[in-house]
Amino acid sequence: MFYREAGQFKATYAADQQLFPIRQDRWAIATILAIAIFIVPLIANDYWFSAILIPLLVFSVAAIGLNILTGYAGQLSLGSAAFMAVGAVAAYNFQLRVPGMPILGSFILGGLSAAAVGVAFGLPSLRIKGFYLAVATLAAQFFIPWLLVKVGWFSNYSASGVITAQAVVIAGYAFDTPIKKYLLVLVIAAVMALLAKNMVRSRIGRAWMAVRDMDVAAEVIGIHMLQTKLLAFAVSSFYCGVAGALYAFAYLGTVQPEDFNLDLSFRILFMIIVGGVGSILGSFLGAAFITLLPIFLDLLLTKLAHGFNLNLQGGAISMAQLVVFGALIIFFLIVEPHGLARLWQIGKEKLRLWPFPY
Amino acid sequence: MSFFFEVLIGGLLAGVMYSLVALGFVLIYKASGVFNFAQGAMVFLAALTFVGLQEKTGLPFWAVLVLTLGVMVALGIATERIVLRPLVNQPQITLFMATIGLAFFLEGAAQMIWGTDVRPLDLGIKDEPIEALMTRFNMVISKFDVFAAGVAGLLVATLAIFFNKTRIGRALRAVADDHQAALAVGIPLKTIWAIVWSVAGFVALVAGLMWGARNGVQFALTFVALKALPVLILGGFESVAGAIVGGLIIGASEKLAEVYLGPHVGGGIEGWFAYVMALLFLLIRPEGLFGEKHIDRV
């Protein structure tokens, strides 16, 4: 009734090709952004910003990165956390060693460094496919953090490779409180999501999807395999790198390469699977789900333990969390293999027809 | 020189241990095309259940072994019914993700039931050097490693007989070759899958006992699976022989690199060396040493 494109005529190509062709969608996005920028800072407290909202947005950027590589270009990767580590350490070093380096420049250069490393580890994808490639990306996952710890220069010779991110100051304005950091991360995530959304509906994105659907066929119709696959690795690693830099500078402040372990890679993979493979919106939904779920489970299980007067130790609760988490992942895959983004799409279709069944 | 051989043999024997874990992966991948990430968790669960039952019930070794095997078979059948059957016809990555979920579930459940302590597991074989070799060749080769290699050899021989000589084994190979053709000649696919997962559970139990006796039964056992992955891609996902040869190559080269290359780069290379090694092999043979060659058609 209220969600219908009837009467919205498109008179120009530009109007036809715009990002959100339906007016209600544009309003919805504007409303969500407005709420995120103006309302959320008013009602949320510091715990919400630093424990939930900032990591949620940071992981969204990483999930977009992995989604570009796995969801759009079809190359399964288990090394996203390693590229985040590269981004974090590179941004730290640019900030440390280049005098007068603007912080945003460091983030971008950190992303570019991650992209270069990503291209290097993407090279095998030209010969190796499927799970063989997935396991090969594990080489990056284990090698890079090791290298970052072993070569002291990367962490300015601190013990076990710990880096302490510098203060975030843009044009003399310090982003020092959780609220300010949240707004900064929000803007960066929004810009990067917009870029990604446009990239995947351009010629590059279509080439990626052709490679994903069948690489031999894509090659036959004239898509340059080397260029397309490596570009996917580069862009994906760039996103992961920026996410890593934000992870260090805006979320934790102090990180060590071991933080970017296989578990983190898996979590990012879970995000795109739960959110929706091959969907930018899905990356956000998945990141929200995977970030909120452990917190929610923790609360719920502690409550339950209290309710039944069970004397659970901390260990048992985290084990129970693991069990429920694993079971939920399986449940989700069985019920909706295309993820939350697909549910959202089905919901929209239903809304357009409402109140009629079809 | 004898030191070189000591390292080499030690590496080969350690490689056999990797092969034990890789075997479980291969069995399931061959028969159902599922890349079962939960194999490591199954190894952990099997070892923990064995030790736990031994502590709780105080039954003799063989009785506990049979009980644990029963648990693993039940788990295999349950996995087929609850996880795999609803996911038939989904893309491989979805199935892979489901097995990661399963891995989380099993790791959590195992520790919830049996606790998180490190437990010793005694198989009656001591992890001490063989004296004859020590006096004659001045080499330190652990008795336990040789025993583990013997068990692995026995396991592979048993599996080979099972696959080649029995009716079920032939059906398994038929399913591995072609699901639809196997269905068409009347092989019950679901039963076969349940059997494969049970056999993988059995392999996990053997691997769990060996690794558990060596390092103690603890959460770190699940990381052993990560060591088995390079073995797997080096040998090829579909090949039992590949798992063995891959394990030997990885084990030997890893130990040699650790001793001869490690000191030059500051140590700690065992975490990634196997992967880089496997990656180099893959660049030459993209489907592993013994994997099936795939011909892409448009």
ipTM for this model: 0.83
Q: Tell me the β-bridge partners of A174.
A: A169
Q: Any CB–CB contact under 8 A between A326 and chain B?
A: yes
Q: How close is the nearest chain A Cα to the Cα of B229, in Å?
A: 7
Q: What pLDDT, on a 0 to 100 scale, did the predictor assign at position A83?
A: 95
A337 to chain B: closest CA residue: B94
Chain B touched by A269 (CB under 8 Å):
yes
Site from A78, A146, A318 to mutate, B interface, most B CB atoms within 10 angstroms: A146
A221 touches chain B (CB under 8 A): no
* CA A158 – CA A156 distance, rounded (Å): 6
pLDDT value, residue A65? 95
Of the candidates B90, B98, B104, which has its C-beta nearest A322's C-beta?
A: B104
CA torsion sign, B57 to B60 to B63 to B68? positive
Tell me whether residues B106 and A326 touch, CB distance under 8 A.
Answer: yes
Q: What is the pLDDT of residue A152?
A: 81
Name residue B163's amino acid. Answer: F
Percent of chain B at pLDDT exceeding 70: 93
Any CB–CB contact under 8 A between A132 and chain B? yes
From A268's Cα to the closest Cα of chain B, the distance in A is: 12
Dist CA B38 CA A332 (whole Å): 17
What pLDDT digit, counting tens, does each position of B4-56 carry?
Answer: 888 888 888 888 888 888 888 888 888 777 888 888 899 999 998 998 888 88
Which carries the bigger pLDDT value, residue A171 or residue B268? A171
Other CB atoms within a 10 A radius of the CB of residue A98 amount to 12
Burial of B131 (0-12, 13-18, 19+ CB in 10 A): exposed
pTM: 0.89
* Cβ contact, residue pair B282, A143, below 8 Å: no
Lowest mean pLDDT, pick from A205-209, B105-109, B188-192: B188-192
Task: Measure CB to CB from residue B86 to each of A124, A129, A334 and give the nearest one.
Answer: A334
**Which residue among B87, B112, B268 places its CB closest to the CB of A333?**
B87
Domains and CATH numbers, chain A: 44-353 (1.10.3470)
Please name the residue of chain A whose CA is at the shortest distance from the CA of residue B93: A76
Q: For chain B, what's the residue count?
A: 298
Chain B hits for A220, Cβ within 8 Å: 298
User: Which chain A residue is nearest to residue B103, measuring alpha carbons?
Assistant: A326
d(Cα B83, Cα B104) in Å, to the nearest integer? 14
Q: In chain A, which residues have their Cβ closer than 8 Å to the Cβ of B298?
A: 214, 216-217, 220
- The fraction of chain B above a pLDDT of 90, given in percent, is 6
Mean pLDDT over residues B62-81, rounded? 89
Look up residue A67 and give its two tokens.
């989604």
Q: What is the mean pLDDT of chain B?
A: 83
Residues of chain A under the 50 pLDDT cut: none
Query: How far is B135 from chain A, CA to nearest CA, in Å?
Result: 39
Cβ contact A146–B94 (<8 Å): no
List, in order of start, the domains of chain B with CATH numbers.
2-284 (1.10.3470)
Least confident of A238-242, A261-265, B209-213, B216-220: B216-220
Token code pair at residue B297: 């058609």
Q: Residue B194: which pLDDT band, with cuts at 50, 70 and 90?
A: confident
